[in-house]
């Protein structure tokens, strides 16, 4: 796994000081967008010539683009150069893409949080999070948060992306405690409920974990997240029972349903399928189903996938209100 120091070191040959390279690496990986005030605060200097020279040099060298969202507010810098991301080992990182004003606000919020806690090694990339949890903590990949995306080619299989929320994660302290950042401006409605459910399988493998909810002052979601967290903790944790006859019947029937072969099912079968679909709902079971499609019944019977119940873990919620209101990006940042 590449550390932040490794990635900052990869940028220093571009002529940046260690401090400049470290800031640029964090801005690129966690946001893609940054503000002058952010670099000034990180560098511990007052806004002035040094701050302007550094950020303007990124524009002059075509490593970043500079623009304004509102005429009466300062510049926004978009680190979009493929050269920078290639040096970071992230040539195809989505932060290179242009984003809406609301999306930029969410990204700037994340960078504000990461910079305010720059003493922590925050992981931003899918590869780094997989290395931490799947390789170092031995969490089975089916229990990690993930999304499956259909292939654009008829003959291609689905593409699985892990940690699809693309939010910072870290492990701190002794004993180690995993910390998961959630931006309350990221979604409306049940966004936090979905975030918790997506991570439920991973939480079950951790002795202790913390969810850090962040957002600008006055955002209603900061308070509603507390109720959602209590509801989540109140739910019983159900382990995967991979050798059960019900699961074997369910994946076989789901394949028929997905293929549109409903005529093969009796009314009793349909009722049973609906009941089991609720029992086997969630990303962990979806991953088992995808594995079964590719590898068959060995997925259900293999010794490495035996029945288990996740151990009891202790979760904690921390809500942190950011200092800024991000009004330059519109009246409802994070909603559009």
| CB atoms closer than 10 angstroms to residue 267 | 7
State the Cα torsion 206-314-26-125 to the nearest 10°.
Answer: 30
Q: Where are the domains of the chain?
A: 4-98, 126-237+311-329, 245-305
Per-residue confidence at 65, pLDDT binned at 50, 70, 90? very high
- Phi, then psi, of 308 in degrees rounded to 5: -155, 160
The CATH number of 4-98 is: 1.10.10.10
Residue 29's pLDDT is 97
pTM score of the predicted model: 0.76
Q: What is the pLDDT of residue 238?
A: 38
Cβ atoms of 143 and 284 within 8 Å: the answer is yes
* Average pLDDT, rounded, for the chain: 86
Beta bridge partners of 316: 210
Mean pLDDT of 70-99: 93
Q: Find how far residue 64's CA is from the centre of its chain.
A: 24
- Print burial letters for 284-320: b (CB count within 10 Å at least 16), e (below 16): bbbbbbbbbeeeeeebbeeeebeeeebeeeebebebe
CA dihedral 254, 258, 262, 267 (to 10 degrees): 30
pLDDT value of residue 290 = 83
The per-residue pLDDT for range 195-229, each reduced to its tens digit, is 998 999 899 899 899 999 999 988 888 888 998 99
pLDDT at res. 168: 97
Per-residue pLDDT, 72: 75
Q: Find all residues with CB under 8 Å of 108, minimum gap 6, and list them.
A: 31, 33, 34, 35, 38, 76, 326, 329
Work out the pLDDT band at 331, boundaries 50, 70, 90: low
């Amino acid at each position: 796994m590449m550390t932040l120091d490794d990635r900052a070191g990869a940028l220093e040959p571009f002529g940046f000081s260690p401090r400049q390279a470290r800031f640029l690496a964090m801005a690129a990986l966690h946001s893609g967008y940054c503000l002058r005030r952010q670099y000034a605060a990180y560098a511990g200097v007052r806004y002035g010539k040094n701050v302007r020279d550094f950020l303007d040099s990124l524009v002059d060298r075509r490593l970043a683009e500079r623009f304004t969202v509102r005429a009466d507010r300062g510049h926004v810098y978009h680190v979009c150069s493929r050269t920078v991301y290639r040096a970071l080992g992230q040539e195809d990182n989505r932060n290179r893409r242009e984003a809406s004003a609301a999306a930029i606000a969410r990204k700037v919020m994340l960078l504000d949080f990461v910079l305010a806690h720059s003493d922590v090694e925050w992981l931003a990339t899918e590869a780094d999070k997989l290395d931490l949890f799947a390789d170092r903590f031995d969490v089975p990949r089916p229990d990690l948060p993930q999304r499956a995306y259909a292939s654009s080619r008829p003959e291609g299989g689905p593409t699985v992306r892990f940690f699809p929320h693309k939010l910072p994660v870290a492990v701190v302290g002794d004993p180690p405690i995993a910390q998961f950042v959630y931006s309350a401006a990221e979604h409306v409605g049940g966004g936090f409920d979905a975030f918790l459910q997506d991570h439920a399988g991973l939480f079950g493998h951790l002795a202790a974990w913390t969810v850090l909810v962040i957002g600008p002052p006055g955002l209603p979601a900061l308070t509603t997240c507390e109720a959602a967290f209590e509801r989540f903790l109140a739910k019983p944790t159900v382990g995967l029972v991979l050798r059960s006859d019900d699961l074997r019947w369910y994946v076989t029937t789901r394949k028929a349903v997905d293929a549109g072969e409903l005529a093969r099912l009796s009314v009793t079968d349909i009722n049973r399928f609906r009941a089991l679909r609720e029992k086997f709902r969630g990303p962990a079971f979806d991953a088992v189903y995808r594995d079964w499609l590719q590898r068959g019944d060995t997925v259900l019977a293999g010794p490495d996938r035996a029945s288990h119940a996740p151990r009891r873990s202790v979760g904690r919620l921390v809500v942190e209100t950011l200092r800024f209101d991000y009004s330059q990006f519109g009246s409802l940042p994070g909603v559009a």
